Amino acid sequence: MNAKKVPQLFVGSGATRWGDITKSPWTLGWQPTYHTEGRVFGQHALASNPNAKIAVLMQNDDFGKDFQKGLLDGLGDKAKAHIVSTQTFEVTDPTVDSQIVSARAAGADVLIILATPKFAAMAIRKTAEMGWNAQRYVASVAQSVGAVLKPAGLQNAEGVISATYFRDPSDPGQKDTPEVKQYLAFMQQHYPQGDPYDSLNLIGYSAAQTLVQTLKQAGDNLTRENVMKQALNLSMTLPMLYPGIDVKTGPNDFFPIEKMQLIRFNGTRYEPVGSLF
């Protein structure tokens, strides 16, 4: 697609590679990268606990490695001193029980779970079964209450920290805002069978709005070159982005969203933790 100079706008992935302007000048991501999120976890873990002993559970693929690099960057030159265990798993593994047991045995009091939903749920449940009270961080792709925390047991997930860049339409404090009302009305009209609280629907809704703005800026000049030029000239807010987070790109900036808000699960829903990172 890049060789044929076909714009690929707002790829639905947090892989850092989609912002590599030198290798893929016609490919543009949208959401914050896994690297960004890993960095945020590392920074917050140290800020919360300067003596943190960190265990990492990571998927053994590009997804996990992208996150891991961000985590190491967030910890900086203190990474080696604070990371006491790094456990990997394959997506074909039946469980991650042995990895969790090893992570605890290393003396960790922080567990960073860089995994997709199935394995994140397993990890959360296993830590609870063991009575291990480590502070747990979970990748945003596995933060879903319905798909991850309920299968793990809501009581087992209390205290889990993740990151977001969206308003939470299930948050009582957000339900009466014009932005959430408009989103819920849109879902009811155009996709009534869809789950309005599913993050993928929030991504689709918001990425589509970003595309609309790109096409408006392009006007009648809908050449590939101009569409790509406009996609790299965005400065906008979106209704369902978390307040303070916006979309910005430039000729040398292929990362539209670069801020995140940490959130903690209180046993029922997520609540914001601190300020934006």
Q: Reply yes or no on whether the pLDDT at 200 is more than 90.
A: no
Q: Reply yes or no on whether the pLDDT at 172 is more than 90.
A: no
Average pLDDT over residues 13-23: 93
Model pLDDT for residues 137-151, shown as the tens digit of each residue: 999 999 988 889 999
Q: Which of 72, 24, 75 is nearest to 48 (CA)?
A: 75
Delimiting residues of CATH 3.40.50.2300 domain(s) in the chain: 51-164
Note the CATH architecture for domain 51-164: 3-Layer(aba) Sandwich (3.40)
Please state the pTM of the whole predicted model. Answer: 0.90
Q: Which amino acid is at 203?
A: I
E strand map for the chain: 8-11, 27-29, 54-59, 83-89, 110-114, 135-138, 161-164, 235-236, 247-248, 261-265, 270-273
Average pLDDT over residues 62-73: 97
**Category of 137 on φ-ψ map: left (φ > 0), alpha (ψ -120 to 50) or beta:** beta
Q: What pLDDT score does 123 carry? A: 98
What is the band of 170 on the pLDDT scale with cuts at 50, 70, 90?
Answer: confident
CA distance 112 to 71: 9
Q: Reply yes or no on whether the pLDDT at 171 is more than 90.
A: no
What is the band of 174 on the pLDDT scale with cuts at 50, 70, 90?
Answer: confident
Model pLDDT for residues 201-219, shown as the tens digit of each residue: 999 999 999 999 999 999 9
Q: What is the mean pLDDT of the chain?
A: 96
User: Can you name the residues that pair with 138 across neighbouring β-strands?
Assistant: 113
Q: For the purposes of burial, counting CB atoms within 10 Å of the CB of 258, is it exposed (0-12), middle (13-18) or buried (19 or more)?
A: middle
Q: What pLDDT score does 199 carry? A: 83
Q: Reply yes or no on whether the pLDDT at 243 is more than 90.
A: yes
